[in-house]
Amino acid sequence: MKLLGIVLVIFSTSSLGYLFALKYKMRRWILKSMISSLNLFKIEITYSKAPLGEILMAISRSSDKSIKFVFSKTGMILSQNEGYTAGEAWEIALNEWDNGYLKKEDVEILRSFGYGLGNSDVYNQEKNFDLAIELLKRQLSNAEEESKKNEKLYKNIGVLAGLAIIILFL
Amino acid sequence: MNTRKNFEEVLYALPPSVREVIIKIPDDLLQEVEEIRLRVNRPLTVYLKNEEKFVSKEGTISFSPSLAYIVTSEDCEKALQLISKSSLYAFEEEIRNGYITLKGGYRVGIVGKCVLENGYIKTLKNISGYNYRISKEIIGVAEGILKYLTTPSKDIYNILIISPPQCGKTTLLRDITRWISNGIDFLGFKGKKVGIVDERSEIAGCYNGIPQMDVGIRTDVLDGCPKAYGMIMLIRSMSPEVVVTDEIGKKEDIEAIHEVLNTGVKIITTVHANDIEDLMKKPVLKDVISLRYFERYVILSNRLGAGTVEKILDENFNTLFKGPYRRGRTEK
């Protein structure tokens, strides 16, 4: 009986720790996926010069499911021809996107990227992409540092807290 | 509902506030609209029945600008993005030329501030004026004059269509092309291979390379290519029997026509002028006339509305047919 209690306590506290740590991992993952999708996006615009709506749909198909929504939603809004520009559609998609793992700055980078989306020539589109990708990369290395520090910390705290409770109650 | 094919593409390309106004215009009038013009901070205008008129917020059309909807600078900014479907990067070349072709073959002319680089136009910015041209595809306009354009041996003459602007020369050219390509049953004329050099995407109205207009079953379209190169290219690549192109005027064009005729390929083209005499005054073009490149001249006006055929002349400038004739309407 006592043993079962010990196991339960340790299990619950350490999973709490993992949950906190997961937040860091997910942010890293989303940023990484976003960077690679934007890279693909950039190539499509500069090389194939296909219409934006088509590109967005193609990108959403090849994107990780954590970020798929932004591209597919933007593409969908554009395809409905309701008079939204790409920038506006992107903004709507971002607002509807469930991105609890990202920090506010990360989303702001994507938001300002949207303002320049599709409204200039290839050269300036490329610059807009490069800027966003560069900034996201910086966020990513920040995120990596943070997670290096905190991920382990939270996991350890979880386990240790469990142990502490057990020692206290024994 | 507008009966024009893909008319909704024009609406999609209008900024939402303007779109709202335009769809309030009664259907029978909307059918007649040939141009929708947006000019920043000025009234929204439409061109119909040879007149420019203003459109109010309620969609009524009048001559009074005071009630008209005023186009804002936001409208103009938005219009460009909507016209390009937020893909401005794909239209650099078109913007440099001053127009964008929409799906459905409609064209939007634009003006703004030119950005120059080494003396060449790099792009346009601050676009301040749009002209949505709602081209008409009138199938069969050429029917009545076809018998003057074909030889007794069931071939086609070299034809020059002479017309002032906005008198329907492209519409006529397109229809002639379609007849020649499909064949003319009532004359026993068999369809011919036709090549169109569509420098400004006007004849076939290509969108992403696909003709949006019906230009006939045996027709190949070289889209967005300079005429002089295009004509030669087409002859080499597609071996057409007839080459069709629009609005000749440059020296290179004339040289290219000369080469085309040397290969025995027939040519049908158009030129901006009021009549033969007017044409003779133009330095480059007078050679075309004096060298007798063409065997038939079709002269257009808008006397009975756009597309009125005034006269058809033969190679010696004798009148074969005297109008005015417009399909469905003849005046003695």
B324: CATH: 3.40.50.300
Instruction: Judge whether B3 lies within some domain.
Output: no
Instruction: Inform me whether the pLDDT recorded for B2 exceeds 60.
Output: no
Token pair for B209: 């390379």
What distance in Å separates residue B196's CA from the closest CA in chain A? 24
Tell me the residue range of the domain where B270 lies.
143-330
Q: What is the ipTM of this complex?
A: 0.79
* Structure letter (DSSP) for residue A91: H
Domain limit, last residue, from B110, B133, B156: B133
Out of A45, A46, A118, the one facing B81 most closely (by C-beta) is: A118
A44: part of which helix (H) or strand (E)?
A: none
What distance in Å separates residue A148's CA from the closest CA in chain B? 41
Out of A83, A86, A119, the one facing B19 most closely (by C-beta) is: A83
Same domain as B17, residue B63: yes
pLDDT of residue A148: 85
What number is the average pLDDT over the span B15-29? 89
- B209: number of Cβ within 10 Å: 10
Confidence tier at B18 by pLDDT (50, 70, 90): very high
CA distance B310 to B161: 11
> Contact A83/B88, CB-based, under 8 Å?
no
Same domain as B190, residue B124: no
What type of residue sits at position A94? Answer: L
CA distance A72 to A93: 9
Query: For A48, which residue in chain B has the nearest alpha carbon?
Result: B90
Instruction: Judge whether B181 lies within some domain.
Output: yes
Same domain as B165, residue B76: no
Out of B8, B14, B92, the one facing A121 most closely (by C-beta) is: B92
A49 to chain B, any CB pair closer than 8 A? The answer is: yes
A83 to chain B, any CB pair closer than 8 A? The answer is: yes
Burial class (CB in 10 A: 0-12, 13-18, 19+), B296: buried
Query: For B18, which residue in chain A has the nearest alpha carbon?
Result: A83
* CA angle (A87 as vertex; A84, A88 as ends), nearest 5: 45
pLDDT of residue B251: 86
Could you tell me if B171 and B136 are in contact, meaning their C-beta atoms sit under 8 angstroms apart? yes
Same domain as B29, residue B90: yes
Instruction: Inform me whether the pLDDT recorded for B327 exceeds 80.
Output: no
Could you tell me if B303 and B309 are in contact, meaning their C-beta atoms sit under 8 angstroms apart? no
- Closest of A147, A130, A126, A114 to residue A46, by C-alpha: A126
> Contact A121/B16, CB-based, under 8 Å?
no
Chain A residues in contact with B80 (beta carbon < 8 A): 119
Instruction: Inform me whether the pLDDT recorded for A57 exceeds 70.
Output: yes
What number is the average pLDDT over the span B302-312? 84
Could you tell me if B270 and B285 are in contact, meaning their C-beta atoms sit under 8 angstroms apart? no
Domain limit, last residue, from B133, B157, B191: B133
Mean pLDDT score across all residues of chain A: 89
Instruction: Inform me whether the pLDDT recorded for B85 exceeds 50.
Output: yes
Instruction: Judge whether B256 lies within some domain.
Output: yes
Largest separation between any pair of C-alpha atoms in chain A = 71
Chain A residues in contact with B86 (beta carbon < 8 A): 52-53, 78, 85-87, 89, 117-119
CA distance B217 to B181: 6
A48 to chain B, any CB pair closer than 8 A? The answer is: no
- Closest of B176, B155, B135, B219 to residue B312, by C-alpha: B176
How many CA atoms are closer than 13 Å to the CA of A58, on its beta-carbon side? 14
Instruction: Judge whether B260 lies within some domain.
Output: yes
Confidence tier at B242 by pLDDT (50, 70, 90): very high
Instruction: Judge whether B117 lies within some domain.
Output: yes
A78 to chain B, any CB pair closer than 8 A? The answer is: yes
Instruction: Judge whether B219 lies within some domain.
Output: yes
- Closest of A155, A149, A140 to residue A30, by C-alpha: A140
| Chain B positions touching chain A (beta carbons under 8 Å) | 8, 12, 14-16, 19, 78, 80-82, 84-90, 92, 123, 208
Give me Rg for the CA atoms of chain A: 21
- Domain boundaries, given as residue ranges, for chain A: 32-150
Confidence tier at B330 by pLDDT (50, 70, 90): very low
> Contact A49/B85, CB-based, under 8 Å?
no
Same domain as B167, residue B193: yes
Same domain as B161, residue B112: no
Instruction: Inform me whether the pLDDT recorded for B1 exceeds 70.
Output: no
Instruction: Inform me whether the pLDDT recorded for B71 exceeds 90.
Output: yes
> Contact B86/A45, CB-based, under 8 Å?
no
Sign of CA dihedral B220, B225, B226, B229: negative
Instruction: Inform me whether the pLDDT recorded for B30 exceeds 90.
Output: no
Helices (H), chain A: 2-43, 52-62, 68-79, 86-96, 104-115, 122-169
> Contact A83/B12, CB-based, under 8 Å?
yes
CA distance B175 to B182: 10
- A51 prior amide bond cis, ω within 30: no
Count of domains for chain B: 2
Instruction: Judge whether B305 lies within some domain.
Output: yes
Mean pLDDT score across all residues of chain B: 87
> Contact A45/B12, CB-based, under 8 Å?
no
What number is the average pLDDT over the span B246-273? 90
What distance in Å separates residue B282's CA from the closest CA in chain A? 38
Helices (H), B195-323: 227-238, 251-262, 276-280, 285-290
CA distance B143 to B137: 14
- Enumerate residues 6+ apart whose C-beta is below 8 A from B49: B32
Question: What is the percentage of chain B residues whose pLDDT exceeds 70?
Answer: 97
Confidence tier at B304 by pLDDT (50, 70, 90): confident
Query: What SS3 class is residue B179?
Result: helix
CA distance B211 to B205: 6
Query: For A74, which residue in chain B has the nearest alpha carbon?
Result: B86
Out of A81, A120, A122, the one facing B12 most closely (by C-beta) is: A81
Same domain as B258, residue B155: yes
Residue B27's domain is classified under what CATH number? Answer: 3.30.450
What number is the average pLDDT over the span A122-136? 93
Q: B72-96: b or e for each residue (b if 16 or more CB lie within 10 Å)?
A: eeebbbbbbbbbbbbbbbbbbebbb
Token pair for A7: 């196991």
Could you tell me if B229 and B222 are in contact, meaning their C-beta atoms sit under 8 angstroms apart? no
Same domain as B86, residue B195: no
What number is the average pLDDT over the span A89-106? 90
Strands, DSSP E only, in B139-293?
Answer: 159-163, 194-198, 219-223, 242-245, 266-272
What number is the average pLDDT over the span B210-216? 89
